[in-house]
Amino acid sequence: NVTEIEILENGNQINGYNGGTATSEDGTIIFAKNFFYNKLTNILETSGNVKYLDKINNIVITADKAIYLKNNEKIFTIGNSKAVNNNKSIEAYNLEYDKFKNIFVAKKNAVVNDFEKNTTIYADEITYLKNKEKIFTKGKTKAFIQNKYKFNSEDVSYYRNLGNLISQKKSILEDDGGNIYKLK
């Protein structure tokens, strides 16, 4: 459903311009300014204020651009990417969402906010295994836990349900009283 439509390649390439929506059989809706759909590959590319709305899993993803692989139920975003679900958000330059596995991967300046647990994690790459409520990072990681602790390390695992933050690397923990603990 678009404002302007262009049909090419014997109906196998459908382009939409100036705003619209794409809706899948399961009720997932993608809003964007521009749409480029290839019927043969079942791939939809979108740009301009992209918003992906998954009502079944209660997930909203926004970005500058997105590529939706319908056959694999994966979405890849580029630029100003953000996913929001219940009391959590994930932000990064790039975001990948695998709907079948319920996994998010955020790359480039990634940030996870767990508003319920009052925890924020920063890293270059963050993976969130939603079904297991586990978050793990690659590279240097900074975390703020319950507004009481600052945690600096690398390659961190965060078990959301348990509230555990684990790293096998050297770590520094600072509490709200200014006490610093260096952990090996």
Rounded average pLDDT over 167-174: 93
Q: Tens digit of pLDDT for each residue in 154-164?
A: 999 999 888 88
Please determine, for residue 106, whether its predicted confidence score (pLDDT) is greater than 90. yes
Sign for the CA dihedral angle at 91, 92, 94, 95 comes to: negative
pLDDT at 26: 84
Q: Tens digit of pLDDT for each residue in 20-51?
A: 999 988 889 999 999 999 999 999 999 999 99
